[in-house]
Amino acid sequence: MNALALQFIDLLAAVSLLLAFALLIQRRFSAMIDFYATQSLVLVITTSLAGWMTGQRHLYLSAALTFVLKVVLIPVLMHTLLRRLHLDSTVDTVVKLPTTLLMGLLLVIFAFGVARPIAQLSTALASGTLGIALAGVLIGFLMMITRSRAIPQVLAFLAMENGVFLAATGVTHGMPMVVELGIAVDVLIGILILGVFLSHLHSAAPSPGATAREGDGA
Amino acid sequence: MLHGLAGQALAFVAALALAPLLSGWVAQCRAWLQNRTAPPLWQPWLVLHKRLLRETVVAENASPLFRSVPALVFACMAIVCTIIPTLSTDLPLAVVADAVVLVGLLALARVLLSLAAMDVGTAFGTLGARRDMMVGFLAEPVLLMVLFTAALGARSTSLASIVDVLAHRELAIMPSLAFAGVAFTMVSLAENGRIPVDNPTTHLELTMIHEALTLEYSGQHLALIEWAATLKLFAYSCIGIALFCPWGLAADDTPLALLLAVPALVAKLAIGGMLLAIAETVSAKMRIFRVPEYLGIAFVLAVIGMLIHILLGA
Amino acid sequence: MGAILLPEMANWPLLQGLLVSASVWCCLGLIGGIQRRPGHAAHLLHASGAVTAAAVALLALLALPGEPRTLTIDHGMAGFALHFRLDALSALFAALLGLVSAGVSLFSAGYFSTGDDASGRRICVQYHLFIASMLIVLLADDTATFMLAWELMSIASFLLVVTDHRDPATRRAGYLYLLIAHAGALAILAALLLLQVDPMNTSFEAMRENADLRSGSSVVFLLALAGFGAKAGLLPLHAWLPEAHPAAPSPVSALMSAVMLKTAVYGLLRVTLDLLQVQSWWWGALLLGLGLASALGGVLFAAIQTDMKRLLAWSSIENMGLIFCGMGLAVLFSSHGMQPMAALALTAALCHVVAHALFKSLLFLGTGAVLHATGERNLGRLGGLICTMPWVGWLMLIATLASAALPPSAGFVAEWLLLQCFLFTPLLPDPFLNLLIPVVAAVIILASALAGYTMVKFFGIIFLGQVRGDAARACQDAGRWERAGLVWLAIACALAGLVPTVLIRLIDPAVRQLTGRGASEELLATPWILVPVDIDQASYAPLVLLLGIVGTAGGLVIVLRRLYPGRIRRSPPWNCGYEFSSSRMQDSAEGFGQPIRHIFGQIFGIRRELPSPFDHAPHYEVSVRDRIWEHAYLPIARAIRSISAFAERLHPVSITACLMPVFVAMLAIIAWAVL
């Protein structure tokens, strides 16, 4: 039973990486937010499962917090922001999409290669999870680099943070509660600031990415 | 051996008979979902019968290649359906061709069809050939990588052995199959001319791929090509079933077990067809320029699936 | 074939026979050179050449399973005798040379019988010297003989490339080829000299014996890779290949692509796996990386070409890339001590060598026939030739399917074996390497799928559709000699695909010689089914597959005829109901390459000129440049030009001033050496 649950955690980590790729290649803002919410939901399930397996109570609390914050609150806030600012256009990427994909693939290879020796040292839950989570973090970082507009960049940052949480769950049974709470409050405040910032920017200039988009001939 | 051959023959006949019905079922589900009156399930069979009765018109400048391709393409697809373990994994003919050969046979059928389309020398034919080859060269690696991901687990490229391993191991979840599954779904939609890539019901010149290839065919030739297309959909569905839900196959090759495996197959195909219809209904057709990107994504996902397998499986 | 091993065969003078054949070729060339009427003599001379080639193939096949045979011709100078050696590796390549050149010579008997006398005479000499030198390269067993034959091969092929020397483009292609061939030869010479341990003994035998005394293997390997890679057209030393192959007459292109490129494979195998006994894993990784780059780059450029011979030349680069991938895997495995896997990888590479030699020579000969009949090599002005040239068309279809690596053809066998190596990689100790292997496999599959695209374009545009130009309308099928050559190669090509077990049995002695391990017992036990490791793991029976396809198709047609007696009527093409349809409405070669240019646009340097919609005389132009040429070759050329301009300015007035520094330097060196 335990082995099955371990494999299930690996599967969830893989799904989370899949969703990170979906975020990387998605062009529409609203779909990106939905993918982020789904990825967070996967994280919630992973955390609760890890809690059930190891019997650590605080993981349940962490899962609940993730659910409220990342599955409900942040997506709703972002959707509201999009609606209010009429921002739901296509994302303009700095690098062409196939190139981004190839870079993503190379990052995955890098992450897996790096994680392998580390994972062999760890005796915790699922050693394979570390590589996948690391890949998720790197993909998030890549997304921040290759996107030129604010909302996808924020989503990329959030996806990266999801990757860090996943790694923490998989390798060390979750971070201390204080750290998790701190990060959660941090993220929330960051999103609120982004909302205020974007609203003001939007009222000042109609589209922050207008100049960058002219170069895209396709 | 004798039972194995009987099972093989049964699988062959089942493929030929069920393939048009599967297409009919998908069309029926789509009609229901779109609030239309559904055609009967056996509509593809009726259409085939009608086409076979009709006169066959061949273009004046067509070479013998044009006339021989429909039967050859049909034969390729029929053999593909025979080597996929649909009812049991005890297939004497499985030694003839493994997963790589299966992909090669699909490619052979595509190349033959594209050459035939170029044979008459119309604008549509060459356009269709070019587009179909474009989809093909991007889809072929994806399919092979998906099969390889499964093959790595079984340490074998023989489809029968792969499915045997997948079906008979203890219940285990393979995370790599999540990626492989998504990639496989994407590529089978593209390969069968389904909606995000091609629309099987359209004849709009600018967007069609598969229809443009078969534009010059009529009568018996067209019947064979359409039958082959339904066989291709059937083959892809069966590969999907064999890789991602290989349960319910005949445990031994007694006639009773084989016959019992047929309803299981039909049930799985029905669910698969329903899912296909839903996927087609909720998505919109993309521009042809987006297709390489779409298949590129599938390619990367398939490779990552294999990487995850190596990371976790070793 | 490999099983026939008569007891007294060990004493048969097979090596001598091969050397005699080489001299027969030389004599044929000389006779051709002094002939009064070379047009008529061409039939006889080239046909005799073909018979000699068949004899070479037979002798080499007989020598395959036996022990290595050696022969030393001492011509008086101590320590500088000519050494020859016939072992399994050279026998395999010699057999291939004989098999292919028999077909090509038969074709040449028809092909070179027309044309003016002077060039016919010249071609006859160069052609036969070229084949003979290739045979000597394969048999040579010391540095001097090897390099002599290698240079003779380069020069003969250079002269053949510039057959049409009145065309400046051809001359340019020839010079580029000569330049790169000589640079490569220098690298090979350096590698062989570094290998030499005993200064007085240049034979390869001495190198083998004293292998453990040597250091600096990696330098030798890199030099050999550069030298043989330049001959093989490996990226980034490929620049000459797409220029030289199209410029040569088609039979010569066929020989260059099918056999001359393979001598580079032979040389690299000889140096890496035979003369150098140690191997590092990074050699394999380097070979694999270069092979992958060549495979992908070659096929991408092939897909966008509009000249049929240039398309085939790029496709040769792709195939050489795949062969080097197989060799890279073999070195990788053998450096980690996994000999069975190394044997499998090497078998795949050698299978590809044979398959490529057969189908590419057939393809080049086919383009030669088309070129003779229509005088046109631009794809955009051909079309519909399968109706006017049925022999060439249908035989080319066999080669096209093989080149597209489709079952049940010869090309597919090689690809199938290569993929099996990737799959059965028992995990290599290096984690990164391990994770890169699937990516490598994916790229190889992508390259071979793209080869399918390219070959559909090639065959579809030349042989199918409506006739595009006037030249293609009134053309005749190939003549008797041409047909005979094409049929010979087509049969060999089809057999190599249908009974691959026979082919692998022929390859096996060479693999056994190089890796110490041969094919598995299963592989040799089952004649009709190809089983690389274990029948539960993978198997492939092409003959059964072909029978299945043909049987199903035939049976179906018969059944349908019984049940539905439908009529068949001929009518104008339907074409979606559009009445007007001209041949210009078909896809052109540029049009067929468009998806590739669109998808892989970043790899090519594309310059496009699009007409505006309101233009009355619209002009469309697209040109694709090779980025490697621009970023690697042109800077070197510029640097050399500026250095020579600098030297020009230093140019002294008299020859005395010129020779003076040289003389002083010479004196200094002698003095330094003596003191």
Mean pLDDT of chain B: 86
Which of A105, A109, A118 is best to mutate for the C interface (most C CBs within 10 A)?
A109
Pick A103 or C81 by higher pLDDT. Answer: A103
Record: contact B182-A98, CB cut-off 8 A: no
Closest-CA distance of chain C to residue B10, Å: 16
User: Do residues B270 and B245 lie in contact, with contact meaning Cβ atoms separated by under 8 Å?
Assistant: no
Parts of chain C with a pLDDT under 50 = 1-4
Q: Does C549 touch chain B (CB under 8 A)?
A: yes
- Other Cβ atoms closer than 10 A to A35: 23
Q: Does B58 touch chain C (CB under 8 A)?
A: yes
Record: contact B75-C553, CB cut-off 8 A: yes
Parts of chain B with a pLDDT under 50 = 314
Of the candidates B171, B173, B311, the beta carbon closest to that of A128 is on B311
Q: Which chains touch C (3 or more CB pairs under 8 A)?
A: A, B
Q: How confident is the model at residue A174 (pLDDT cuts 50, 70, 90)?
A: low
What is the total count of domains within chain C? 1
Residues of B in contact with A125 (CB under 8 A): none
- Other Cβ atoms closer than 10 A to C25: 26
What is the SS3 assignment for C622? strand
Residues of B (241-260) whose Cβ lies below 8 Å from C: none
Of the candidates B60, B71, B292, the beta carbon closest to that of C599 is on B292
Mean pLDDT of chain A: 77
Q: Does C412 touch chain B (CB under 8 A)?
A: yes
Residues of A (141-200) whose Cβ lies below 8 Å from B: none
| Burial class (CB within 10 angstroms; exposed 0-12, middle 13-18, buried 19+) of C640 | exposed
The Cα–Cα gap between B116 and C459 comes to: 11
pLDDT at B204: 67
ipTM of the complex: 0.93
The Cα–Cα gap between B230 and B237 comes to: 11
Q: Write out the two tokens for A133.
A: 């989570």
Q: Does B91 touch chain C (CB under 8 A)?
A: no
**Torsional class of C626: left (φ above 0), alpha (ψ -120 to 50), beta (otherwise):** beta
Closest-CA distance of chain C to residue A68, Å: 38
Q: Write out the two tokens for C91.
A: 């026998």
Residues of B in contact with A98 (CB under 8 A): 292-293, 296
> Is the pLDDT assigned to residue A175 strictly greater than 70?
no
Q: Is residue C656 part of a domain?
A: yes
Range of the domain at C631: 627-674
3-state helix/strand/coil string of A7-30 = HHHHHHHHHHHHHHHHHHHCCEHH
Record: contact A113-C432, CB cut-off 8 A: yes
Closest-CA distance of chain A to residue B30, Å: 25
Q: Which stretches of chain A sit within 8 Å of chain C by CB?
A: 96, 98-99, 105, 109, 112-113, 116-117
> Is the pLDDT assigned to residue A210 strictly greater than 70?
no
Closest-CA distance of chain A to residue B72, Å: 36
Residues of A in contact with C436 (CB under 8 A): 109
> What's the predicted TM-score (pTM) here?
0.90
Range of the domain at B50: 2-313
What is the total count of domains within chain B? 1
pLDDT at B186: 92
Closest-CA distance of chain C to residue B279, Å: 26
Residues of C in contact with B205 (CB under 8 A): 576
Q: Which stretches of chain B sit within 8 Å of chain A by CB?
A: 171-176, 178-179, 182, 289, 292-293, 296-297, 300-301, 303-304, 307-308, 310-312
Q: Is residue C159 part of a domain?
A: no
Which of B173, B184, B306 is best to mutate for the A interface (most A CBs within 10 A)?
B173
Record: contact B179-A109, CB cut-off 8 A: no
Compute the count of residue pairs across chains A and B with CB atoms less than 8 Å apart. 66
The Cα–Cα gap between B56 and B68 comes to: 13
Q: Which chains touch A (3 or more CB pairs under 8 A)?
A: B, C
Q: In terms of DSSP bridges, do strands C621-625 and B56-59 run parallel, antiparallel, or are they unpaired?
A: unpaired
Q: Does A118 touch chain B (CB under 8 A)?
A: no
Record: contact C602-A105, CB cut-off 8 A: no
Residues of B in contact with C540 (CB under 8 A): 96-98, 100-101
Q: Write out the two tokens for C155.
A: 């020069």
Record: contact C436-A109, CB cut-off 8 A: yes
Instruction: Please give the angle made by the CA atoms of C477, C481 and C485, to the nearest 5 degrees.
Output: 95
- Other Cβ atoms closer than 10 A to C107: 33
User: Do residues B146 and B180 lie in contact, with contact meaning Cβ atoms separated by under 8 Å?
Assistant: yes
In order of C327, C346, C433, C435, the CA distances from C334 in angstroms are 10, 10, 15, 19
State residue B227 phi and psi, 5-degree precision.
Answer: -65, -40
What's the pLDDT tens digit per position in B259-296? 888 888 899 999 999 999 998 888 888 888 888 888 98
Q: Does B29 touch chain C (CB under 8 A)?
A: no
pLDDT at B234: 94
Q: Which chains touch B (3 or more CB pairs under 8 A)?
A: A, C
Q: Which residue of B has its CA nearest to A128?
A: B312
The Cα–Cα gap between B92 and A53 comes to: 45
Q: Is residue C566 part of a domain?
A: no
Q: Does B157 touch chain C (CB under 8 A)?
A: yes
The Cα–Cα gap between C186 and C146 comes to: 13
Q: Does B211 touch chain C (CB under 8 A)?
A: no
User: Do residues C345 and C336 lie in contact, with contact meaning Cβ atoms separated by under 8 Å?
Assistant: no
What is the SS3 assignment for C86? strand
Record: contact A113-C602, CB cut-off 8 A: no
Q: Which residue of B has its CA nearest to C564?
A: B53
Q: How long, in residues, is chain C?
A: 675
Distance spanning both ends of chain B, measured CA to CA: 35
Of the candidates A3, A4, A11, the beta carbon closest to that of B178 is on A11
Q: Write out the two tokens for A125.
A: 């839950």
Residue C155 pairs in a beta bridge with: none
Instruction: Produce one character per residue of A176-206: b if its CB has 16 or more CB atoms within 10 Å, e if not.
Output: eeeebeebbeebeeebeebbeebeeebeeee
Residues of C in contact with A117 (CB under 8 A): 431
The helix (run of H) or strand (run of E) holding residue C591 is: helix C589-599
Indicate the angle between helix axes C117-139 and C88-111, nearest 10 degrees: 170
